[in-house]
Structure 1
Amino acid sequence: MNRNGMILKCIAAILLVTGINTVVKAQSVDTLNAPAPALPGVYADPNIAVFNNKFYIYPTTDGTVGWQSTAFSCWSSDNLTDWKNEGVILNLPTDLSWAKVRAWAPTIATKNGKYYYYYSADVNIGVAVADKPTGPFKDPLGKPLVRKGLLPGQMIDPMAFVDDDGSAYLYFGQGQCNVVKLNDDMISYDTTKIISFKPEGYNEGPFMIKRKGIYYLMWSEYDTRDPRYSIAYATSKSPVGPFVKAAGHPVLKGKGVVKGAGHHSVVQVPGTDKWYIAYHRFKIPDGNGYNRETCIEPMYFDAQGNIKPVDVFGKLKPVKIKAAK
């Protein structure tokens, strides 16, 4: 073999070894050991928020077939990794006159110096008001804000979004997405102004964020009992659409031991372009659509503003909020 032949043979050997190493490295990603959940126990549909330099999570209490929970709790954290249970903030049997069961999928917003808590109760949507993010919350209406049967689909999964100009919008609905601008009191709206639509793949759990002038409507696809449960999104230049669905990958989906990753919310760290997504997955081990646990991961955007796929096997690091100067 001449000298050039020897060189080519060496190069081929190097490429072969490099290729093998690359395959080994790709296969070494551990999909059998997921990170621990953010909250202990079974909690689903987490709504994550930040108020007064502190993080909060408002989840559904899970663990019963048919999702028969009757109360809502609140959790607080200074760093996204250590969470304190602030206790029950709304108990359907004692605090409501119109619903006693199926306490699902809440959201929260602040305006007018008050905190407005929107929630699903017996397949209606209610609203409660408090002076603090930890409550106690009181029902100001004595009836649902959005009653079951008002529109096609289930009247569940509210999401309240307050825009930069102070305008507030309520997104809700399973089966189709609905959005309506709330009145300044945050507890009423014009039913004739409801906009209903169904993005491709939409099932439930709408969530709205705004970044660099673009509105991102996110939602859950498939059913929460389905291991394929996942998150997709669409964008618009308006909070009420029209929305264009992002092509390609879901924002978040299960992998390996992680099943049913969905029904999320997103929080922006004040004063930064850092974003975090809270979601639930089947409890590990032996979880299902009635036994789910809450997780948190960073969420990133690319240079074009597309949301990158979330790593459900990431290791969340503590996050401190810097006080505004």
Structure 2
Amino acid sequence: MKKLLTGALAAVLSISLCTPLVYAKDNVETKTLKKSNSGNPMLGFDENGDILYGGDPSVLVDGDTVYCYVGHDTSSNESYWMPDWRCYSSKDMKNWTYESKIMNSSDIKGGDNHEAWAGQVAKGSDGKYYFYYCTQFSDGKGVGVGVSDSPTGPFKDVNQKPLVSNSQTPNSVHSWEDIDPTVWIETDENGVEHRYLGWGNTRFFVCELNEDMISVKDQDGNPDNLSVGYGKGNDIVIGKINDFQGHSYTEAPWYYRQKDENGNYYGKYYMFFACDWREQMAYATTDDIMSNEWEFGGIIMEPSATANTNHMAVFDFKGQTYFVYHDGSLPHGSGYRRVACCEPFTINEDGTIDPIKKTATGLTGTASQITDSDGNYISHKSFVNTLLDADYPITGKALQVDFYKDGEESSWEINPGKSSKKDEYVSIESNNKPGLYITAQDPKNGVITPVLSQDVKGTTAEAESMTFRTLKGFNGSGVTFESVRYPGYYLTSKSGVLSMTQDPSDKDATFFVSTDTEIKSGKARKTKRMYTVGEKLKTNDIRIQLYLETGKTVKITDYTTNADKIDMTTTGKKTLKVTYEYNGEKKTDNIQITVVDSAYKKK
């Protein structure tokens, strides 16, 4: 899915700043860098390809298709305004298709026109699809259910009332308590199907659904008793997490269980959820969902750099486990204008889960490193996404050039330009701090400084500050980056300092992008090239070493040959083709092999 940064949105709140008088170099030659047109965010577009914000992602895997659902964010300020839910689909987790609007919150009896809170779709044994959603009802937030014959909707509210509501969860400590439904359907060892519904903000609840999927199962023989209690006797059970290690449950529960190679569930049940504020992602485990007693597993995802909340969906597809979440990495993004992203992950053999890192590249993007003419890496100075609202939005974070900083802080995604999609324009996004870009900061005391910042307002000025025109490196190779916001100012590395300079030396303004560095020389070579008739052609003595324009060398060890197709039973000259890949491009080198008879070799 191509990143969608439309000029229409960028112009919504454009501001005018005084631009200094600058002079660009004459007779410069543009250069087109290889761009990463995919990765995170994986969604964020409507049927026309324009930006569509959407948060609280949930997922349904149905056959060979993954469906992702989001609540549509339309807020222009820092508050929630969500009029409907939208659906996308994919058959490979790489290419996503916008499907439909599945339901309006205004279509729900007793609902509101802007309260499309989190929901999840499940497929029933009857072949119908059930959408468990949250919206504002007369007595507060509640969970309702819609039904459709298709996973893409439209869904119809069948009950005309909440499935569970505040009247069934008394002593509420938060007006948003009955939100964020999650569903788990499983057949037990006796062949009995169970349908569990979990939900909750600050407290979490679980109940079991009847076979009709639209009513709560009576478990104590008293159909009028829908009270909250502990244990299996009542219909709705309050949750408890043991050994929380100083954290607190916030919201967004999501049920998951592992499958074996035959598709059978095994092991403990997992509940993923948001904890603390700003929200981090955590998990807990249990042997019995209906007990609603969980063992805390740990924090697995830090707070977002661009949004105050998070909400996940965890699922398996074609042998891989995925973690879908939301952030505010689109222009003008925030916790109220969100977008779905995705990372792959694995569960350890002992059932524990290691931290999952957010990335700009996601499943399909390409990470790059950028070095100056002396081999120093451009990176941002390390910082932690804190839990303090006052530390956001993140703007003006320091950049540096350092020979030894080749870790995650020096990983970048080279994207199409935010202010121009022409081939020679790029925007450079931090891979480990998605949504933050190298930015030509507005002048302070006449000095323009490159920093790491979020596209906070989605303005034309911000887009231009985060866009660079790429030129053939002034030093004869590599690339030079010219600011679009301030033409004639070039990204410059000198004496360990990264700056924006109006008249830099050719060397200081020249950089090399790892995914775009050209091969200066080098090819496949082979030690033994003369063979006797009938002798086996071996390829383990092939060596491939490439010399890059930066002066560095690269050894290639992964290659294929046509050795099995060469006739070694006759004499003569043969062509051994060696094929390998560098920076996403395939290259084939030819090596001449000579086959002689045994009498010739004895001469």
Q: The TM-score by the shorter chain falls in which range?
A: 0.7 to 0.9
- Bigger shift: residues 112-121 or 193-202: 193-202
Matched, 1:290 2:336: yes
TM-superposed CA distance for 1:284, in Å, is 4.4
Give the corresponding residue for 2:284. 234
State how far apart, in whole Å, the 1-side matches of 2:112 and 2:310 are. Answer: 26
Structure possessing the higher relative contact order (Cα contacts under 8 Å, 6 or more residues apart): 1
Give the corresponding residue for 1:77. 90
TM-superposed CA distance for 1:266, in Å, is 0.8
Matched, 1:304 2:304: no
TM-superposed CA distance for 1:133, in Å, is 0.5
State how far apart, in whole Å, the 1-side matches of 2:300 and 2:237 are. Answer: 25
TM-superposed CA distance for 1:198, in Å, is 4.2
Q: Determine if contact 2:85/2:116 at 8 Å carries over to the other structure.
A: yes
Q: 1:39 to 1:242 in 2, by over 3 A?
A: same
Give the corresponding residue for 2:310. 262
TM-superposed CA distance for 1:315, in Å, is 3.4
TM-superposed CA distance for 1:285, in Å, is 4.9
Give the corresponding residue for 1:156. 179
* Equivalent position amino acid for 1:163 in 2: E
State how far apart, in whole Å, the 1-side matches of 2:326 and 2:158 are. Answer: 30
Q: Determine if contact 1:261/1:279 at 8 Å carries over to the other structure.
A: no
What are the superposed Cα offsets for residues 268-291 of structure 1, whole Å, 9 maximum, x if unpaired? 115x3x210110112345432212
What are the superposed Cα offsets for residues 215-251 of structure 1, whole Å, 9 maximum, x if unpaired? 001110134xx3xx1111111111224211114xx12
What are the superposed Cα offsets for residues 249-273 of structure 1, whole Å, 9 maximum, x if unpaired? x122246x45546210111115x3x
Matched, 1:121 2:135: yes
Moved over 6 A (4+): none
Greater Rg, structure 1 or structure 2? 2
Higher helix share: 1
Give the alignment's TM-score, normalised by structure 2. 0.44
Give the corresponding residue for 1:131. 149
Decide which of 161, 172, 177 is 2:204's aligned counterpart: 177
Q: Determine if contact 1:231/1:262 at 8 Å carries over to the other structure.
A: yes
State how far apart, in whole Å, the 1-side matches of 2:211 and 2:323 are. Answer: 28
Matched, 1:209 2:222: no
Give the corresponding residue for 2:276. 222
Identity %: 31
Q: Determine if contact 2:84/2:101 at 8 Å carries over to the other structure.
A: yes
Q: Determine if contact 1:258/1:312 at 8 Å carries over to the other structure.
A: no
What is the DSSP-based 3-state SS (H/G/I as helix, E as strand, rest coil) of the residue aligned with 1:125? Answer: strand
TM-superposed CA distance for 1:36, in Å, is 2.9
State how far apart, in whole Å, the 2-side matches of 1:115 and 1:128 are. Answer: 8
State how far apart, in whole Å, the 1-side matches of 2:285 and 2:211 are. Answer: 25
State how far apart, in whole Å, the 2-side matches of 1:149 and 1:195 are. Answer: 14
What are the superposed Cα offsets for residues 8-31 of structure 1, whole Å, 9 maximum, x if unpaired? xxxxxxxxxxxxxxxxxxxxxxxx
Give the corresponding residue for 1:141. 159
Q: 1:136 to 1:63 in 2, by over 3 A?
A: closer
What are the superposed Cα offsets for residues 169-198 of structure 1, whole Å, 9 maximum, x if unpaired? 000011101000111111111323211024
Structure 2 unmatched ranges of 5 or more: 1-37, 45-51, 219-225, 227-233, 259-265, 365-603
Give the alignment's TM-score, normalised by structure 1. 0.79
Give the corresponding residue for 1:55. 66
Q: Determine if contact 2:240/2:294 at 8 Å carries over to the other structure.
A: no
Aligned length: 275
State how far apart, in whole Å, the 2-side matches of 1:68 and 1:198 are. Answer: 32
- Bigger shift: residues 48-57 or 66-75: 66-75
* Equivalent position amino acid for 1:237 in 2: D
What is the DSSP-based 3-state SS (H/G/I as helix, E as strand, rest coil) of the residue aligned with 1:203? Answer: strand
Give the corresponding residue for 1:36. 40
Give the corresponding residue for 1:186. 213
What are the superposed Cα offsets for residues 88-131 of structure 1, whole Å, 9 maximum, x if unpaired? 111122x3221023111010111121111000111221100111
Q: Determine if contact 1:129/1:137 at 8 Å carries over to the other structure.
A: yes
* Equivalent position amino acid for 1:296 in 2: C
Decide which of 88, 91, 98 is 2:110's aligned counterpart: 98
What are the superposed Cα offsets for residues 191-218 of structure 1, whole Å, 9 maximum, x if unpaired? 2321102434111000110123210011
Q: Determine if contact 1:175/1:198 at 8 Å carries over to the other structure.
A: no
Q: Determine if contact 1:149/1:155 at 8 Å carries over to the other structure.
A: no
Q: Determine if contact 1:260/1:280 at 8 Å carries over to the other structure.
A: no
* Equivalent position amino acid for 1:277 in 2: F
**Alignment RMSD, CA only?**
2.1
Give the corresponding residue for 2:294. 243
Q: 1:71 to 1:98 in 2, by over 3 A?
A: same
Q: Determine if contact 2:269/2:286 at 8 Å carries over to the other structure.
A: yes
